Homo-oligomer: A and B are copies of this chain.
Amino acid sequence: MLLCDIGNTSYHFLDGKTEYKKYATLFDPSSLHERVYYICVNPQLKNRLRDLKNWIDLSLYTDFSKYYKTIGVDRVAACEAIEDGLIIDAGSAITVDIVKDGVYGGGFIYPGVRAMSQAYKNISSALDYSFNFELDLDKMPKNSQDAISYGYLKTLYSEVVSHNMNIYLTGGFAKEFAKIFKDAKVDEMLIFKGMQKIIKKADLC
């Protein structure tokens, strides 16, 4: 069974136990002829995939009533994978969602590394630094790189830990963010696990 989680920048495949990525701009989905169960948050690609009979859109088999109308299907899939906890999906955007006793508790969206880096750069060339993920979160910064790193990372950290829940980290930047959320469980398969649950519930295979 081939699973695919399509984000704004890449196709993320799981083939049995092997996972790999293809750039959204370079990969041609019609080159695949086997059945692919997918979720997709990219509206342009979603339109294109609608015409391919072997690509099965799992959002059509997902119960959104537990969530909200405009939530990204990737967030739903991640939430379906756990019973209790706070999920940080660190991709182009960083989504933070809460599940309590299998019930969705709401969530928020924070800019991903690239978007936030560009935001600082757009304000002033004096803020054009990469983020320091080795930052000491217990000290208010006294240099420019740490001042923007703290602004990006510590604010997110303070909010997330205030919920006092087990943290699951997934997404392309999970390993970077694990340096900040040291107690988090990194699980890059979380969305695929949720997709498998949706497939099972819907009796698709």
Contacts and interface: CB of A to CB of B under 8 A. Distances in A.
B108 A148 contact: yes
A124 B150 CA distance: 25
Contact of A115 (B70, B119, B141): B119
Contacts of A122: 115, 118
Interface in A117-150: 118-120, 122-127, 139-144, 146-148, 150
Interface in A82-121: 92-94, 96, 98, 104-112, 115-116, 118-120
A172 interface: no
Interface stretch (A47-55, A152-160, A180-188): A152-160
A96 B28 CA distance: 46
Nearest to A161: B158
A154 B98 CA distance: 15
Interface of A: 8, 41-43, 67-72, 92-94, 96, 98, 104-112, 115-116, 118-120, 122-127, 139-144, 146-148, 150-152, 154-159, 162
15 contacts: A41-B124, A41-B126, A68-B144, A70-B126, A71-B144, A96-B151, A106-B139, A108-B141, A108-B148, A108-B150, A110-B151, A111-B120, A111-B151, A118-B119, A119-B119
